[in-house]
Chain A
C-alpha cells in the first residue's frame, strides 16, 4: 500500500460519512425523510454502501497493484496480511486488497442489477396474479411453481452452454430472471390480502382504474416485504455469482469478483484464510448494510411505524 492509496481510502471514508451527515441534516426538514433516518442502523447502512460505491468508482486510486497480475508465483503465494499486502496475497500471488477493490465494481454491479431485475419481475408477476386472480393467477403461479422446481444452477449452466461466452450483462439478466420466483409469491400473498381492504374498495368507488389501484393503493402497502426481499435478494445474487464462479461459469478469470475470489481461495482456506475471509466479509457487510438501509425505506413509506 502506498501513501497515496491510504490517503484515497481515508478520503473515501470521510466523504461517505459526510454524505450521510449532510443527508441527515437536510432530512430534518421533511417528515418522510425524517422517518427514513429514524433508526441508527439506517445511517450506518447508508454510510457503508456509499463508501463501497466510492471504492468501486475510485478503484484505480485505492489499489496498489494490478488486480490480475501474478506478482511472484514462486515467492509471494498465500502471504499473510502485511503493510505491503494489506489483506495478504492469494494462491496465485495476486494482491487480495487490490482484487477486493476491483471486485467491488463487478459484485455491486451484479448484485444491484440482478436484484433489480428479480424484484421488478417478481413484484409485477405477484401483483398481477394477486390482483386479477382467476386464470391469470393460476397460469402465473403454476409458472412460478415450475420455476421454483427447476434448479437455478442447472438453468444457468444451460444458458451458458447455449450461448458461448456469456457477456456480463447477459449473466446479470440471467441471474435476475432465475431469482424472482420467491418474491412473486411473497408479493402475491400481500396483494391478496390488500385487495380486499376497505381503502382499496373505496379507491375503486372513486373511479380509480386497476393500474392506479395497484400502483398507488396496493403496492405501497406491500412495500415492507418487497424491500426486505430486495435487500436479501442482493445477498443471494452475490452468493449465486460466487457459486457460478466456483463452477467456472460466472465472471470469467482473471477478472475479480467477490464470488470468484472466494472460489479461488477455497483450496487454501486453512493455510491462508485471508483470501476467502475478506471477500466473504465484504458480502456480509453489503447484505447487512442493505438491510439497515431497507429498514429506513420501509419506515419512510409507512407512516404508522414512526413515532
Chain B
C-alpha cells in the first residue's frame, strides 16, 4: 500500500533564550503513516511527541522554533515543508486535521460550538453560513452529542470536558480529512469518558476511512487502538513495531521500562516499576545512546556510540535503536 504521510529526518529545534543553546526537541524522526491505519506515537513528557505533531502542520511557533532544512514531511507526494502559506492552509483542517489535548482551552470561548464546527466547512468548502450550520448539526449528531439542534447554539463553557472533546472531534472531521492527528486526545478527561472518546474515534475512523496519528503517553490506549507503534525518547525514534510485536517482544530497554511501569490487573500486587531518572534537558542530550544514563544494561559502547535503528529478529519492520539487537547476550537479568 502506498504511504499517505511520510516523515523523514524531521528535525525541529528551538533556540532558547539567554543563550542556553539549542533545544533539539525533535531530532531525526522518521516514520510512515498508511491510509486507514492508526499509528501510535508513545513516549513520556518532553520526548518530542507534541512537537512532532505540530511540525507536520507547521504549527510550531517560529521563533523560537524552526524546522531544519533537510527534513521532509510528504503528504500524498507533496512536501508540506515546501508549500506556500495558502497551499498549506488548504491542507490544514481539510486533508490533515488535528485535535488537541485540552478541550477546555482549545475552543474559542466567545463563539458558539456550532460556529466553530462550521468554520472549517466555510473555509474549505465555501459553504454558506446556513448550510454550514446544518453540517455542524450533522457532525454533532455523528460524534454522539444528544440534542444537536439545541447544543449547536451552546457556548463552550456550557459543556462538560467530554462533550467539548467531542466538539473538537466534530470540528476536525467536518471536512473528512485523510489524516487525523490526535495529540493526547484523552489525557485531560476522566477514565470512563476516555474510553468513550477512544471508541468514538475508532468508529469514526472506520466510517470515514481516515488514518489516525495517535499521540499518547498511555500504553493502555496504544494497546487497544493502534495498529503500529513508534516509541520516542529524547527527540528520537527508539523503537518501531506492530502493536502485538511491541507488547510481545519489547526490544529497547526504554520500551521495556515503559511496559513494566504499566499496572497490571493479572499480576500480583507489587510496587510499580519506575524507570530511574528523568528525561534529560533537550539542550544537552547525553552522548552516545541518549538512554544510556537510565538504562540497566548500558555498557561502554552505549556511551561511545549511538546505535542506529536496527532491524530486530522478531518480525519485518520491527526496529530498535539499541546495541542489544546486535549483542543480545548482554540482556542480563535485571538488577
Contacts and interface: CB of A to CB of B under 8 A. Distances in A.
Contacts of A302: 109-110
A197 B92 CA distance: 18
A202 B107 contact: yes
A198 B168 CA distance: 12
Interface in B60-111: 61, 63, 85-86, 89-94, 97-98, 100, 102, 105-111
A212 B123 contact: yes
Interface residues of A, number: 25
B157 interface: yes
B183 to A, nearest CB: 10
Contacts of B107: 199, 202
A199 B100 CA distance: 9
A206 B120 contact: yes
Interface string B145-184: 0000000010101000000000010011000000000000
B59 interface: yes
Contact of B105 (A198, A209, A212, A217): A198
Given A199-B105, A221-B108, A304-B109, A205 B98 contact: yes
A303 B110 contact: yes
B294 interface: no
B62 to A, nearest CB: 10
Contacts of A217: 108
B213 interface: no
B59 A206 contact: no
Contacts of B23: none
Looking at A197, A203, A209, which has the most chain B CB atoms within 10 Å of its CB?
A203
Looking at B119, B124, B168, B172, which has the most chain A CB atoms within 10 Å of its CB?
B119
B124 to A, nearest CB: 6
Contact of A207 (B63, B105, B106, B120): B120
A205 B93 contact: yes
29 contacts: A31-B153, A134-B63, A199-B105, A199-B109, A201-B59, A202-B107, A203-B119, A204-B92, A205-B59, A205-B93, A206-B92, A206-B97, A206-B120, A206-B171, A207-B91, A207-B93, A207-B94, A216-B108, A216-B111, A216-B119, A220-B108, A220-B110, A220-B111, A221-B108, A223-B110, A301-B110, A302-B109, A303-B110, A303-B157
Interface of A: 31, 134, 196-199, 201-209, 212, 216-217, 220-221, 223, 301-304
Interface of B: 57, 59, 61, 63, 85-86, 89-94, 97-98, 100, 102, 105-111, 119-120, 123-124, 153, 155, 157, 168, 171-172
